[in-house]
Amino acid sequence: MNKVRSVIIDDEPIAVDYLKQYIEMLPQLELVATFNRAKDAFELISNNSVDLVFLDIQMPEITGLDFIKTLPTKPHIILTTAYSEYALEGFELNVTDYLLKPISFDRFSQAVLKVSQSKVGEVKQEPVKTKDFIFLKSGYKAVKINISDIAYVEGSKEYVTYYTLDKRKYMKNERLKNVEVQFASFDFVRVHKSFLVNLKHVDTFYGNIIEILDSQIPIGRAYKDDLKKWIE
């Protein structure tokens, strides 16, 4: 299978990290390079070595939109930004899609599907597959964590905390809903607006409480019936 050769251009390290992780989860994509300044990517993109660019808009020296205008030939471009007001101008520049940060994996894969369907580089559409591990930051390191070793995930506004079987925890700038979609095939169930649990590691379930890793997790009223069905 010919893969879609992709580049990330973004000056936000957090955004680069989760875009790299998303790319790894889709077998039709290949990450060629990452850049934190658009002008550094000009030569690589201009020589037709790239099929797809994930491009931030607000960056130093030259904006993503202005950078598009400098390209002699344009690959598929998916804009990744925290600002919705540039959508019209982006589509006037014939971008493939416009993704608002924080970007969910589901929305990301929909955008990539548009590229695959256009047969860039004669790419054939493959089913979306998810890997059974993720990388999470601990200090200055990125630690590989098997999804099966995650006991539960707690969400708080724009952040989630992953709790692993070895009683470590890792915080990430992401929404719990995104994690729920990503972990849907790994026996993770939403039991509360703030909690997602791995059913394989539930110790006890009683009343409105789940015990897991010596922690008591509340069960939200809206999720209780679905949880009972899973357990039964």
Residue 150: give its domain's CATH number. Answer: 2.40.50.1020
One domain for residues 64 and 153: no
One domain for residues 206 and 161: yes
Would residue 168 count as lying in a domain? yes
One domain for residues 113 and 177: no
Would residue 135 count as lying in a domain? no
Would residue 128 count as lying in a domain? no
Task: Write out the H or E segment, with its range, that includes residue 218.
Answer: strand 215-218
pLDDT for the residue numbered 122: 44
pLDDT in tens, 63-75: 999 999 988 888 9
Would residue 114 count as lying in a domain? yes
Percent of the chain with pLDDT strictly greater than 70: 92
One domain for residues 150 and 116: no
One domain for residues 166 and 111: no
What span, in angstroms and rounded, lies between the C-alpha atoms of 211 and 20?
34
Query: Of the candidates 122, 153, 170, which is a domain's last residue?
Result: 122
One domain for residues 155 and 217: yes
pLDDT in tens, 175-232: 888 888 778 778 888 899 999 999 889 888 888 899 998 899 999 888 877 777 666 6
| CATH code of the domain containing 68 | 3.40.50.2300
Amino acid at 9: I
- Among residues 196, 203, 186, which one has the least CA distance to residue 227? 196
- What is each CA distance from 174 to 14, 101, 182, in whole angstroms? 10, 10, 12
Contact 42, 66 (CB under 8 A): no
Q: How many CB atoms lie within 10 A of CB 223?
A: 17
Could you list the residue range(s) of the whole structural domain that residue 113 is in? 4-122
Query: Of the candidates 57, 92, 122, which is a domain's last residue?
Result: 122
Q: Which residue in the block uniquely carries the two structure tokens 């808009």?
A: 57
Phi, psi dihedrals of residue 122, rounded to the nearest 5° = 55, 40
Would residue 81 count as lying in a domain? yes
What span, in angstroms and rounded, lies between the C-alpha atoms of 173 and 155?
10
pLDDT for the residue numbered 195: 94
21 versus 129: the higher-pLDDT residue is 21
Q: Give 127-130 contacts, CB < 8 A, sequence gap 24+.
A: 128/25, 128/26, 129/25, 129/26, 129/27, 130/25, 130/182, 130/185
pLDDT in tens, 27-57: 899 999 999 999 999 989 988 789 999 999 9
Instruction: Indicate the number of domains in the chain.
Output: 2
* Beta strands 52-55; 133-138: pairing state: unpaired
One domain for residues 169 and 111: no
Task: Write out the H or E segment, with its range, that includes residue 34.
Answer: strand 29-35
One domain for residues 47 and 102: yes
Q: Indicate if the pLDDT at residue 123 is higher than 90.
A: no
One domain for residues 96 and 165: no
